[in-house]
Amino acid sequence: MPHSSRSTLTTATVVAAVAVTLMAGAPRPPAELRICADPYDLPFSNDKEEGFENKIAHVIARDFNATVINYWQPGRRGMLRASILAGRCDVMIQAPVGLDPVATTKPYYRSTYHFVYRADRGLALRSLDDTVLKHLRIGVNMIGYDYTNTPPAHALSARGIRGLVGFGNFLNPDPKADHPQDIFDALAKDSIDVAIVWGPLAGYWVKHEPVPLTMTALPDSDPVSGMPFAFDMAMGVRHRDKELKAQLDSALIRRHDEIVRILQEYNVPLLAPRAAVAPTPGGDTVHDSLLVSDSIYQGWKWFHVYCFRCHGEDAIGGVNPSAPDLRWALSPTGGAFPRDSFVATALNGRLAKGMPAWKQMLDTSAIYELYQYVKARSDGWVKPGRPHRQSDLHPKSP
């Protein structure tokens, strides 16, 4: 064999060997996409794979050339501990961005809570400040074993509107159990006057009721209570699964249009993606993750005067072994501590555990502000650091 031919063959062999080595070393998507899914929670998912989460899971699986394997776990308190954190599944198709127990991908949609009411009732609701709400029967979904309130329910409470009609979230097909559509059936039957419901749930079931229902979106957040109403939704994985998270991020980009079409088929009301930064009058930038209402800002101040020595700066915990991580304590997937219990504990203390009573230093309104800040940290939409007030972005004219 001529020398030049041998050289060419040797070079080709080396190149091929390097290519094979690089391909072998590159992270590959999993052959099985193990999904954490609720067996009875339309429009999100069910065990017949009729929900939009089920459809999106198969879009991602096709991108990975993988097979979907569902692990069915009802979406209740302890769901994360019993499913993804226990290693029984690897991907949550929906997780709010910043959910602390998991690592979240880039968001693939954003939505908000909505008013829903019968079109023939002559209502024209636009705001939680509409005075007619004080005279209406208002239905809200309840979350968790202790029936934690949703953000709009907290916002109504901050306005003195109580006595809401709660609809449970222990979902299963038993006729005596809770069902995803119950709150909409109550509207159709005139058992309640208005419901305040998470957008994807509202958009789907409004189309399935026998009477016309009207939907009106709530704003991104509430200036009175400081509660967020709009959330960016992403996929969730365990924090250690960095390669899987990166693969999902790439797939979400490639399959963006398919996923949006699925969401539209299920009538999910979509908001424009949240801007990463907002300009200030001085020309600097303020990250959205630190942009808060005045009440949450005041709660941050109270926390860093009275609470941080035991519960850690920015409520990150880990300072005093007897003091809980308050983010976990208020999380629906953690301690799920109700607001009223938080307020009572802060006012009266837990002397046996070394926690003083703060009622001599802080009144109830200050404790509510504390709660709003800690809850925002628990929900993940306020990040560590000094917050910036919304009012500072729009200074009053002299």
Q: What is the pLDDT of residue 3?
A: 44
pTM: 0.66
For residues 195 and 367, give the distance between their C-alpha atoms in angstroms, rounded to a whole number: 29
Structural domains of the chain ordered from first start? 32-107+231-265 (3.40.190.10), 110-217 (3.40.190.10), 279-393 (1.10.760.10)
Q: What is the pLDDT of residue 27?
A: 57
| Beta strands at 138-143 and 148-149: parallel, antiparallel or unpaired | antiparallel
Most confident option among 212-216, 320-324, 384-388:
212-216
45 DSSP 8-state letter: E
Q: Which helix (H) or strand (E) holds 196?
A: strand 194-198
The string over 252-273, giving b where at least 16 C-beta atoms fall within 10 Å of a residue's C-beta and e elsewhere, is beebeeebeebbeebbbbeeee
Q: Are 173 and 167 spatial neighbours (Cβ–Cβ below 8 Å)?
A: no
Q: Any idea which residue has 């009572």 for tokens?
A: 344
pLDDT in tens, 311-370: 887 787 766 777 888 988 888 777 788 888 899 999 998 888 788 898 888 898 889 889
Question: What separation, in Å, do the N-terminal and C-terminal C-alpha atoms of the chain show?
Answer: 91
Query: For residue 199, how many C-alpha atoms fall within 13 Å in the half-sphere facing its CB?
Result: 22
Q: Mean pLDDT, the chain, as a whole number? A: 83
What percentage of the chain exceeds 90 in pLDDT? 46
Q: Are 228 and 219 spatial neighbours (Cβ–Cβ below 8 Å)?
A: no
pLDDT in tens, 226-241: 788 999 999 999 999 9
| Beta strands at 194-198 and 277-279: parallel, antiparallel or unpaired | unpaired
Residue 100 CB neighbour total at 10 angstroms: 17
pLDDT in tens, 133-192: 999 999 998 764 434 578 898 889 888 888 899 887 777 788 778 888 999 999 999 999
Q: What is the pLDDT of residue 335?
A: 77
Q: Any idea which residue has 């004219």 for tokens?
A: 397
SS (H, E, C) 285-314: EEEHHHEECHHHHHHHHHHHHHHHHHHCHH
Provide the phi-psi class of 316: left if phi over 0, else alpha when psi is between -120 and 50, else beta. alpha
| Cβ-Cβ contacts under 8 Å for 13 (sequence gap 6 or more) | none
pLDDT in tens, 19-36: 433 334 445 567 899 999
> Given pLDDT bands bounded at 50, 70 and 90, which one contains residue 288?
low
Indicate the Cα dihedral angle 9, 14, 19, 24, nearest 10°.
130
pLDDT over 70 at 275, yes or no: no
Residue 385 or 60, more confident = 60
